[in-house]
Chains A and B, each alone.
Chain A
């Protein structure tokens, strides 16, 4: 069928210019699907409009990525040259499965411990992990009586060896970073780079369980009313991977070309957890770029 499709493709070549749709112009001539042949952007196009149905992304995740896009590129899609980061690819994954565990001892209204499974199949072999974070959205429908201090305990379960369905022996990684969030925070990033560095690229699925333990800044007043305990302040996380696509098709800023000659900087050694009010992240990048210069 490949050969016949290829012949069909060549036979149609005569009137190719006139009626073909743009994506079919990008089909490899011999009809073979060589994934390295077409840039990923056009590879998807070559599937044409009738391609695989697309799952709808999480709206909060889409909102965050649109803000990231505005921080990195102009309205016409030109990458901003004043950026200080090396990554030319950012991928956001929402968990493809999550199981809530029995509620532990945590402040009412914070996220109960949860088991998460992320499918990283879209990460290609040429994409190098530079940084990864768990992104939590703070649910503002619950009024916070006071700032809350949290610590996060994260356990990555080794991927099950082939053939077994259960994840392998877990190894625990505790983030002892304290962070607090109040009314103005919209997102909280938990940096998990050092934990995922060895896994991304070799595993297509990441299985982890996350547990927040939080304490209030001020002792609870008897009259204070808690947020309804069944409403979580933190909406379950997305996993964001900041990658450097090393292929020729991807754009390599002067920074990354310059750094290509130097050992690539380890993941940001900032504290593991940061809370960002809206738009803070872009300013953060700006400050660090000035500092670095």
Chain B
């Protein structure tokens, strides 16, 4: 079987399309790990552009993905998160695993036309998710 071995050895270890960091990542972290995702919308899609003048586009972002069993410092998780995962796995599966949720937000400036025709510039807190955590 030498020629089989030789042909096997000639095969690339890593598929050309996958670079090394991604290759190792699949071993180190779960595939769809809890992380921040974009969702760009314009207020005209929501038919709110008759009173929201600016911004023209808004990306509130959101958190999605699986929380690893030992969601430690990497997510800024607290000890309770791992306790809940252990309960889910060993005692009672009806207790849900920890969830992937926003941990930090940033504000949004909005320019609106009020019903009386006046114009308002306002800065609202907590309108864009900037970091995820497992809770």
Which positions in A face B, CB cutoff 8 Å? 22, 39-41, 44-45, 49, 51-58, 61-62, 65-66, 68-69, 72-73, 75-79, 88-94, 96, 119, 121-122, 245, 248-252
Contacts and interface: CB of A to CB of B under 8 A. Distances in A.
Contacts of B108: 77-79
Given A77-B110, A249-B124, 20 more contacts: A54-B113, A54-B117, A62-B53, A65-B53, A66-B111, A68-B121, A69-B121, A72-B109, A77-B54, A77-B58, A77-B109, A78-B107, A78-B108, A88-B123, A91-B118, A92-B120, A94-B117, A94-B118, A251-B123, A251-B125
A230 B19 CA distance: 74
B48 interface: yes
Contacts of B113: 54, 56-57, 62
Contact of A89 (B55, B56, B57, B121): B121
Nearest to B50: A54
Main SS at interface, chain B: strand
A75 B55 contact: yes
Nearest to B113: A57
Contacts of B124: 39, 41, 249-251
B44 interface: no
Given A49-B47, A72-B109, A77-B54, A121 B122 contact: no
Interface size class of chain B, counting residues whose CB lies under 8 Å from the partner chain: 20 to 34
Nearest to B122: A89
Contacts, number: 116
Nearest to A70: B54
Nearest to A89: B122
Interface string B65-108: 00000000000000000000000000000000000000000111
A77 B119 contact: no
B3 interface: no
B115 A54 contact: yes
Contact of A76 (B50, B51, B55, B121): B55
Given A49-B47, A77-B58, A72 B110 contact: no
Contact of B119 (A73, A92, A121): A92
Contact of A57 (B46, B47, B117, B121): B117
A78 B111 CA distance: 12
Contacts of A91: 118-121
Contacts of B107: 78-79, 251
Contacts of A119: 116
Given A62-B53, A65-B111, A88-B122, A55 B116 contact: yes
A89 B123 contact: yes
A121 B116 contact: yes
Given A62-B53, A248-B125, A251-B123, A69 B109 contact: yes
- Nearest 8 pairs between A and B by C-beta? A55-B117, A77-B55, A251-B107, A73-B109, A251-B123, A90-B121, A88-B123, A92-B119
11 contacts: A22-B46, A55-B115, A56-B113, A56-B117, A57-B113, A77-B127, A78-B108, A79-B109, A90-B120, A94-B117, A122-B120
Contacts of B46: 22
